[in-house]
A and B are shown apart, each in its own frame.
Chain A
Amino acid sequence: MSARRTPTPARLLANGLGLVVLVVSVFPVYWMVSRSFLPRNRIRSDEQVWLPTDGTLSNYDRVLSGDGFRNALTTSLSVTLLTVGVALLFAFLAAVAVSRFRFRGRTSFILTLLLIQMIPAEGLFISQYKMLEGVSLLNSVIGLTFVYVASVLPFTVWTLRGFVDGVPRELEEAAMMDGCSRVKAFFTVTLPLLAPGLVATGLFGFIQAWNEFTLALVVMTDPAKETLPVWLVGFSESRSRGVDWGAIMAASTLITIPVIVFFLIVQRRMVSGLTAGAVKG
């Protein structure tokens, strides 16, 4: 495309609308972060502070010193890390099978994964609740991890399979010519090349498990066992002492930070992966 020096009216209009989109998309996040640094008495409706120039960490202090946040953080971290670990291991094995072998049931396995990915949590959480209740795994990290792995697994297998496909089989075969066994060739040649894919997929699983609300609400009914999202919703509703919006915004910001960091790392791969599959036809 040739670069035009004088902006046409069409371009000016597009730029103007673009800036509107920018403001609408950024404003809620800006409001969340900026209010989280405002002292409680400056969050009021008759005098909105549009551009705060000073701030306080007292909101964060109130959140971090409470038991609720720390308990929920421990639960969330345990469930999330466990989910990512188990899902990556199982998905990796399955992805290798699907990518490197043609076997009976392969296509139906792949299609079942796609179908499962579409099942809404609300469609099954009643019976998952009854199942976990039956084996005393309600309010337990293991119980929640169990249903989380199942919901993350289809996507994880699907994505990892793309990464395994991307490593040329010829590399392994060359190593085998040089006298490596098939297994050794896989571990010394293919696996290192898959590391970025494993990291990206793992981060995506982290985001999903960290953000998940519905199943956590159903499985973790004991307030002492809540994950961060469930705790945050409860925290924002506890209005007995008047709403402490500053602290609520601080807590929301704390929960958002790791997601944004990880998201920025994986998003490029996510977008290219999504369209690569779809543009083909």
Chain B
Amino acid sequence: MARRRSAVRPNALPLGLVLPAAALLVLALGYPLVRQVVLSLQEFGLAQQFGQPPEWIGLDNYRALVGDSYLWTVVLRTVLFCFVNAGLTMGIGVGIALLMTRMSTWVRVLVQAGLLLTWATPVVAAMIVWQFLFDTQYGVVNSVLTALGSDHDGHSWLAEPISFFSIATMIVVWMSVPFVVFTTYAALTQVPDDVIEAAEIDGAGAWQRFLHVVVPTVRPVLLVVLLLQIIWDLRVFTQIYTLQKSGGITRDTNLLGTYIYSLGIKGGDFGTAAAAAMFMLVLTVLLTAPYLRIMFRQEED
């Protein structure tokens, strides 16, 4: 592409335009990042709650965390939850998108409208409705199951970790699937018809056409969507927090986000919480790196 170069234009104007945004980001995110490193090297104990300045303790917070098997349980649980949710979301989302290419137009329009509604529902509203559906006393799920002959009268879905995480997964997947469906379907409609026809004339079967024409076309989209999904599912907080509030069990259901929250904001141990938050940041950066590489390549084009 021939790029018109305004080679000798001074940089002052564009830099001035970028300045407000950059300054705000430095103040609201850059400074806390540095502050967090500092916090993670300090001790916040009982004395600090009575106004003593925090003490420097070097890497003790990190040492304590790494030596605590609970942190590893939480990290493992977070990563597992993330992969299960991202996998299910991708599988179901791509499945629905493929189905959409096969259905009658009126069904497809209805499905799109329904998914749009799901996508637009605010997280907190969705959480509360799902809690209502699975409510011990008034929940429609319990009454339907009971009516079908399996006695779920008064069954508490959130009292036990496996069942707790199944509900959480159901809600997270329900909320995330529309994004995957819409992006995948948009990509599928961009597969050129004439290429498919040409492949058909050349004797390629339906499966071969799918594998050699459709898949290569949508692969870049799927890759980006998968990466975003993994990044988003790593930071699930609202869902777990609200379910914990109504379920009561916390220790067996903490993910990294809620763990950091309960350490720092609730417990006042800002040092350990900051150290745990650094884990979360490192984990995010590691998972984000491939996404950034893809975007960087596009930026250079």
Contact = CB atoms under 8 A, between A and B. Distances in A.
Contacts of B128: 232-233, 236, 248, 252
Interface string A1-27: 100000100110011011101101110
Contacts of B140: 31, 45, 48
Contact of A281 (B31, B114, B284, B298): B298
A247 to B, nearest CB: 11
A275 B221 contact: yes
A60 interface: no
Interface in A96-116: 96-98, 100-107, 109-112, 114-116
A126 B29 contact: no
B33 interface: yes
B138 interface: yes
B129 interface: yes
A124 B277 contact: yes
Interface residues of B, number: 109
Contact of A126 (B9, B127, B273, B296): B273
Nearest to B296: A111
A189 interface: no
Contact of B114 (A7, A22, A125): A22
A51 interface: no
Nearest to B126: A28
Contact of B21 (A28, A90, A125): A90
B6 to A, nearest CB: 7
Contacts of A165: none
A21 B108 CA distance: 10
B235 interface: yes
Given A255-B122, A264-B116, A119 B281 contact: yes
A275 B181 CA distance: 12
A147 B28 contact: yes
Interface string B203-230: 0000000000000000011001100000
Given A14-B99, A233-B242, A123 B284 contact: yes
A122 B233 CA distance: 12
Given A111-B292, A233-B245, A26 B119 contact: no
Interface string B21-37: 11011011101110110
B259 to A, nearest CB: 9
A18 B110 contact: yes
A131 B31 contact: yes
Contacts of A111: 292, 295-296, 299
B274 interface: yes
A257 to B, nearest CB: 10
Report which residue of A100, A255, A274 has the largest number of chain B beta carbons within 10 angstroms of its beta carbon. Answer: A274
Of listed A107, A128, A218, A253, residue having the most chain B CB within 10 A: A128
A122 B298 contact: no
Interface stretch (A62-70, A149-157, A190-198): A149-157
Interface string B175-210: 001100011001100100100000000000000000
Majority SS of interface residues in chain A? helix
Given A32-B129, A48-B143, A123-B280, 15 more contacts: A14-B103, A25-B117, A31-B129, A31-B132, A45-B143, A45-B153, A120-B234, A123-B235, A213-B123, A236-B246, A248-B128, A259-B120, A263-B116, A267-B119, A279-B220
B94 interface: no
A29 B116 CA distance: 11
A241 interface: no
A126 B115 contact: no
B237 A271 contact: no
Given A21-B111, A263-B120, A278-B221, A115 B292 contact: yes
Interface stretch (B12-20, B67-75, B83-91): B12-20
A256 interface: yes
A211 interface: yes
A205 interface: no
B277 A94 contact: no
Interface residues of A, number: 101
A274 B256 CA distance: 29
Given A31-B140, A109-B18, A101 B260 contact: no
A61 interface: no
Given A29-B121, A271-B186, A122 B256 contact: yes
26 contacts: A7-B104, A18-B99, A21-B115, A22-B110, A25-B118, A28-B121, A28-B174, A31-B140, A90-B20, A93-B21, A120-B257, A121-B235, A122-B237, A122-B260, A124-B29, A124-B36, A124-B277, A147-B28, A211-B124, A213-B123, A217-B241, A236-B128, A245-B132, A267-B120, A280-B220, A281-B297
A275 B29 contact: no
Closest 7 CB pairs of A and B: A120-B235, A150-B28, A122-B257, A97-B17, A263-B120, A101-B14, A14-B102
Most chain A C-beta atoms within 10 Å of own C-beta, residue among B14, B27, B119: B14
A97 to B, nearest CB: 4
A11 B183 contact: no
A118 interface: yes
Interface in A36-59: 43-46, 48
Interface string B50-62: 0000000000000
Contacts of B110: 18-19, 22
